[in-house]
Amino acid sequence: MNKKEQMEFLSQYEDFWGHLSDEEKEFVCHNTEYVTYHPGQNVHSADLRCVGVLFVRKGCLRVYIMSEEGKEVTLYRVNPGEVCILSASCVLSEITFDVYVDSEDLTEVVVLNAFAFAKMMSKNIYVENFSNKMKAIRFSDVMWTMQQILFFSFDKRLAIFLYEELIKNGPIIRYSHMEIAKYLGSAREVVSRMLKYFEKEGIVLVSRKEIEIVDKKKLMERL
């Protein structure tokens, strides 16, 4: 992606781009970079550098927290056309917590560096508002996750996960049990056990490489 293509891509973010002066657009142009991340690559973490605002073009970013003991809880995913704002947390005064961001697929992003973004926020109220609005959207995502973890029993949570995958990508699911466990803030054993139970109930077929949803109706009864 050359600079012109990068700017064309950013212009789709109307809330952001639509309120910039020509001078500011020029400034953005000098402070962005086109980056590709490999599946599984760490993009941002608390103790490393503060990457900046990530405008996702292709692929998917996973945003998560991690305990001192290494337990991970996925907060949400950032999909194409969306923005990863918490990767600029070092310049966001209202954000007092740290997250990790990993690339899940081959992910293409346009990165606006954190310090350039901070400078723009201090001078343009629309940019500051864009930043705060993106945080508010993720606040809602996190509340959803929190309610899943705290209130829903695990069979329901796994059923919701499988149902969402069915709707998005069809009946064949290629995530490992470990990946599903991470996504649901649980342990691999718990996922494997529940999948075995779902298999006995005739909802799924589990093989080493994939999970196949064989009875949509029965799955929906679990939601």
Q: Give residues in contact with a second copy (CB under 8 A).
A: 65, 67-69, 71, 73, 92, 94-97, 125-126, 128-129, 132-133, 135-140, 142-144, 146-147, 149-151, 185
Ordered strands of the 52-58 beta sheet? 32-37, 107-113, 52-58, 83-84
Residues 6+ apart with CB under 8 A from 31: 112, 113, 116
Please identify, using beta-carbon distances, which residue of 36 and 148 lies nearer to a second copy. Answer: 148
Q: Is the Cβ of residue 216 or residue 222 nearer to a second copy in the bound state?
A: 222
Residue 189: both structure tokens together? 């054993």
One-letter amino acid at 152 equals: F
Given 3-state DSSP classes, what are the helix, strand and coil percentages for the chain, each rounded to the nearest 5? 50, 20, 30
Minimum Å gap between C-beta 64 and a second copy is 11
Of residues 19 and 216, the one with the C-beta less far from a second copy: 19
Cβ closer to a second copy: 2 or 67?
67
Shortest spacing between CB 159 and a second copy, in angstroms: 16
CB of residue 86 to a second copy, shortest distance in Å: 10
Amino acid at 46: A
Q: Which is nearer to a second copy, 136 or 223 (CB)?
A: 136
| Nearest distance, CB of residue 142 and a second copy, angstroms | 7
20, 10 in Cβ contact below 8 A? no
| CB 102 to a second copy: min, Å | 18
Buried b (16+ CB within 10 A) or exposed e, 176-210: ebebbbbbbbbeeeebeebbeebeeeebbbeeeee
